[in-house]
Amino acid sequence: GNSVTQMEGPVTLSEEAFLTINCTYTATGYPSLFWYVQYPGEGLQLLLKATKADDKGSNKGFEATYRKETTSFHLEKGSVQVSDSAVYFCALSGSSNDYKLSFGAGTTVTVRA
């Protein structure tokens, strides 16, 4: 079945540091890939997505590229801010059951001033 494995946290870094959160997936067919973010006290919200190989999703300075050859969708940001402190979830929806998203365990990121 479909599954997502993402880098374990927690991750703590300083403002303006470079952030990478690794995500790899297992799926049949051609899934769509997502990153969701949960800020403290808020619900999960979509951060970015990519629907086909080599697509790059981007939002709020974050980027992730759909790499079919390595089955990866790593999240990156070049210069983090304190306001980026949150829990980040990688997710996929399979091509045959595209309503049923499979999520990773989440990575807690704390950015210190």
Partner 1 sequence: GAGVSQSPSNKVTEKGKDVELRCDPISGHTALYWYRQRLGQGLEFLIYFQGNSAPDKSGLPSDRFSAERTGESVSTLTIQRTQQEDSAVYLCASRGPNSPLHFGNGTRLTVT
Q: Tell me if 104 contacts partner 1 by CB under 8 A.
A: yes
Count of chain residues binding partner 1 (CB under 8 A):
20
Distance CA 73, CA 50 (A): 9
- Alpha-carbon gap, residue 93 to 3, rounded angstroms: 10
Check: CB of residue 12 under 8 Å from CB of residue 113.
Answer: no
Q: Does 107 bind partner 1 (CB under 8 A)?
A: no
The reply to whether omega before 10 is within 30° of 0 (cis) is yes
Q: Is residue 52 close enough to count as binding partner 1 by CB under 8 A?
A: no
Site for partner 1 (CB under 8 A): which residue of 10, 41, 69, 70? 41
Q: Which residues bind partner 1 (CB under 8 A)?
A: 4, 34, 36, 41-46, 49, 89, 91, 99-106
